């Protein structure tokens, strides 16, 4: 279920989607959106690289000095916004909300952590207060995965 803001942003995006396969839901659209996402993420990374190049290092003091210069943080935020445009279009393409992506990713990460014996999950607080998204679901999914791995699947 999309929030009102997600819905309105998606409507706005539809008006700014000028690529050939916009709204077709086909491979051409998926490829375009995926390439756009990595391209914009690359521009974000390139802006950070320029800060590191200027400071000559990645030490916090030098980095923060450049980051706090007028316009530098805004440039990063602008590039991140462009990256978000493509990410949100991909979410719409796949038919999921930002909320669902966050929850599914959290379940995946917790399930992965459950397979690593050196990690104590009691130290990692479950982030969701909504009872719909509970840790018991992760434990159940993990158990199902374990059962499948023993079946040779």
Structural domain span for residue 131:
102-150
Do residues 127 and 146 both lie within one domain?
A: yes
Does residue 25 have a pLDDT over 50?
A: yes
Domain count along the chain? 2
Do residues 91 and 106 both lie within one domain?
A: no
First-to-last CA distance in the chain? 33
**133 touches 103 (CB < 8 A):** yes
pTM comes to 0.78
Do residues 76 and 119 both lie within one domain?
A: no
Higher pLDDT: 63 or 139? It is 63
Does residue 153 have a pLDDT over 50?
A: no
Do residues 69 and 110 both lie within one domain?
A: no
CA distances from 106 to 31, 42, 130 (A): 26, 25, 14
Q: State percent of the chain over pLDDT 70.
A: 83
Do residues 13 and 73 both lie within one domain?
A: yes
Do residues 77 and 9 both lie within one domain?
A: yes
Residue given tokens 């007028």 in the structure block? 70
Higher pLDDT: 34 or 122? It is 34
């Amino acid at each position: 279920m999309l929030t009102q803001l997600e819905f309105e942003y998606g409507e706005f995006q539809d008006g700014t989607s000028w690529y050939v396969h916009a709204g077709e839901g086909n491979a051409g659209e998926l490829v375009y959106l995926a390439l756009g996402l990595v391209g914009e993420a690359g521009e974000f990374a390139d802006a950070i690289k320029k800060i590191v190049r200027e400071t000559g290092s990645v030490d916090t003091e030098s980095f923060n000095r450049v980051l706090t210069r007028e316009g530098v943080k805004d440039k990063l935020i602008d590039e991140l916004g462009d990256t978000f445009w493509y990410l949100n279009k991909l979410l719409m393409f796949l038919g999921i909300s930002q909320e669902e992506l966050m929850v599914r990713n959290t379940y995946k990460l917790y399930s992965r952590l459950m397979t690593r014996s050196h990690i104590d999950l009691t130290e990692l607080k479950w982030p969701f207060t909504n009872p719909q998204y509970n840790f018991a679901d992760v434990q159940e999914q993990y158990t199902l995965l374990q059962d499948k791995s023993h079946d040779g699947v």
